Structure 1
């Protein structure tokens, strides 16, 4: 396929992080118009179409590396803008279902900042690319074309109703509220299968002023996870240091144990999870925002790759699959999928017949991996609805549980755990002989019974010295 046969114009529906990354990938081959219902802000500011931006977003190293490959130098641009690159597990105090993980040398990393800052840096970079333009305050009515071929979109803009924007390729990056299945149905493409697993999770976030000196000291992320093996609602609490000397604090609870928007109950909820450390760290801290609460966090998947899609169309990001936000998978899954699309476009050319369908299939493996990891946990919580675990999931779950127990004391297993949860390796990595033999010897003997904060960190936070580890009180419940 010659370059002259490549699409001259592509449309991306949705201007958040994933839509912008899609535009960057497509800009190698075509001019690109990004269509968004919002007026896109110039800097790090809230956007009506992205209400979940109010909550903690940690970009795992697997996703950060993928975005770096799409936009070289973006990691430095994030940190120059105020984002924090945190070593994992060095800069992390986390209690998993099996206990506290050790803070050993860097195995992986994450980018810690507000979602507004994360998106704004990417937005400035991508909208500055040659051939990329935006159509803002505009809503897509539907797809133009037939069940065999998409030729553009119909859009209501501030100046014109039902405007036709022709395109050789249309990418739906409009997120959880995507109407793509309805648009395709109007063209005669029906029967696209869906799946959902819903733990009833609700999460609530509030930003606090960090203690003086916490930022300079490199205060760690602090996280207490739930234990899905225990038949009670799963509750979590997380402090994520972000730009401008602030702590972004997110609480969550599954069905029957949800947090509320009552500010007086925020810190007590944090104290009531499996370990009270997050609540203790918040005592006396000045809140900078009200409590933001989000419901409707089910894992949802649309199996576009199984359908006979029209040529010239594919979907990405939350339009394809949404995950329980606690696992932090969404941005990384989508970015890694777009890397696969980029390789496909470079290999075959964007004018190749059926390239939209092939792109949709190229996205699928990363989505499937994340889906299995998220839903296998969420279905275990009381009142969860959706697909039951696949046959054979029990023995595999027991193996993973043993690995996670060992990760509390064995640095090899700590590294293996972070390799997978940061989406730097696929779960099959856990079955490699170098990991398998450590799992066979796994033990939590010697694991920390208390949060592994240093004496200096406890002092910065205004906490009393740690209790004698040999006689912990009220910890690690």
Structure 2
């Protein structure tokens, strides 16, 4: 009979979604045992679950996150592609209408992985749980941390049968997402409230799944129509992502006063919104020729919220917060999955370097993950802060200066492939924003685009024919 490991050699991960599973993978082999505590009973394959309602909306995994995930789970990209996920080169397979017009489809700079969230999570979950050192405690709720202000020694949980118990641990990771109770748990340990910032544009999301026209079920590009924050009134946008099984997942959104319809059982207003409310009707025209496969899913859970735990005057040993529990972003930018993967990789690298349970490790991890978190935060809030009511004080002078420069860069990128690549270096989370401040990039921004603006969506004649638009 195998002897149970000492609690000091056990890692407990709270939350069994994308970031939680990758955190479990990061700690496997560094801890003797990893226990994932999850409120849902996790499905055996790609299937919806109550605790992940956002799975009904569009997701993408930028290459900065893909590379981190591949480091944690070698071969996972190939496994996803074998399961039906798509690899879309950036910006080659993207038709994007920006605030400054249509982007050209430049040669590949980076890429995204496109798949339904159920498929993505199930594929990652199967790889992580194939290791017998990882176990899932399903149907269990985390009630609070055990220990004190100096160190966390475990977590209290309520199991599916209602019984409560304590799991001793040398490391506890909170990956419970937007519903994280860490601020309250820290207060229970006698620690001060964390610094927090919110930017709430009032964005509402509506999404629907479609079967693409038969000829467009393979190799069709991503389509995105973006808002223009320089225009008065609410911002509206939409994107169409080709995913597995010849399907398109389409998400439409609008800020306060411009939201898509919440109760839209027939989906008729969904198509109308795409055609008439967005800045270009392309997505609506495509949907008119596709077959609806689901009802319209709606959410308002889109606020940007960040806890600055890395700035805390005191932080307990053996406790780390990752993923949406640390910072949750407006989903339209698609960075949450990538940041979760990069943060899990940082957790593994620093734990390997300093040793599992080492003094000061949690503080080091919390400060290090602030780098990818901060990069995604700046990208997400850089536009949202300009919508009325997004913050109490409105955009700062820095916000306005940065936005003006980014706007100039984006205009330049519509007609300059080198600058488009620098921009996607940052949006893919592969390089830091400093690459946008080099002398060559600054000079290019002053000069502006090298090619004239496109007057029509950059779809090929073959793509137009596949979609029934020609």
Q: How does 1:38-437 map to 2 (within 5 A)?
A: 38-159=40-161, 161-216=163-218, 218-261=219-262, 262=264, 263-272=267-276, 273-307=278-312, 308-386=314-392, 388-437=394-443
CA distance, structure 2, for counterparts of residue 35 and residue 233 of structure 1: 40
Q: How does 1:5-20 map to 2 (within 5 A)?
A: 7-20=8-21
| Partner deviation per Cα, 1:375-431 (whole Å, 9 max, x = no partner) | 121011233234644433333322221111111111101111111111111111111
2:186–2:193 Cα contact (<8 Å) kept: no
2:289–2:468 Cα contact (<8 Å) kept: no
CA distance, structure 2, for counterparts of residue 69 and residue 158 of structure 1: 34
CA distance, structure 2, for counterparts of residue 252 and residue 159 of structure 1: 40
CA distance, structure 2, for counterparts of residue 178 and residue 123 of structure 1: 21
1:7–1:29 Cα contact (<8 Å) kept: no
Supply the RMSD in Å over aligned alpha carbons: 1.6
1:173 Cα deviation after fit: 0.3
CA distance, structure 2, for counterparts of residue 284 and residue 374 of structure 1: 32
- Extract unaligned runs of 5+ from structure 2: none
| Partner deviation per Cα, 1:214-259 (whole Å, 9 max, x = no partner) | 123x110111000111122110111111101111010000011001
1:196–1:387 Cα contact (<8 Å) kept: no
Worse overlay, 158-167 or 143-152: 158-167
1:437 Cα deviation after fit: 2.8
2:215–2:466 Cα contact (<8 Å) kept: yes
CA change 1:389–1:333 in 2 (3 A) is farther
TM-score normalised by length of structure 2: 0.95
TM-score normalised by length of structure 1: 0.93
CA distance, structure 2, for counterparts of residue 268 and residue 160 of structure 1: 48
CA distance, structure 2, for counterparts of residue 234 and residue 344 of structure 1: 41
CA distance, structure 1, for counterparts of residue 21 and residue 133 of structure 2: 13
1:376–1:389 Cα contact (<8 Å) kept: no
| Partner deviation per Cα, 1:183-213 (whole Å, 9 max, x = no partner) | 1211211221211000000000001110012
CA change 1:197–1:102 in 2 (3 A) is same
2:416–2:451 Cα contact (<8 Å) kept: no
Worse overlay, 421-430 or 366-375: 366-375
| Partner deviation per Cα, 1:74-95 (whole Å, 9 max, x = no partner) | 1101100000000111111001
Worse overlay, 435-444 or 334-343: 435-444
CA distance, structure 2, for counterparts of residue 372 and residue 106 of structure 1: 24
1:7 Cα deviation after fit: 4.3
CA distance, structure 1, for counterparts of residue 136 and residue 212 of structure 2: 37
1:338 Cα deviation after fit: 2.1
1:66 Cα deviation after fit: 1.0
2:23–2:347 Cα contact (<8 Å) kept: no
CA distance, structure 1, for counterparts of residue 398 and residue 83 of structure 2: 46
2:375–2:429 Cα contact (<8 Å) kept: no
CA change 1:5–1:158 in 2 (3 A) is closer
CA distance, structure 2, for counterparts of residue 408 and residue 37 of structure 1: 45
1:96–1:227 Cα contact (<8 Å) kept: yes
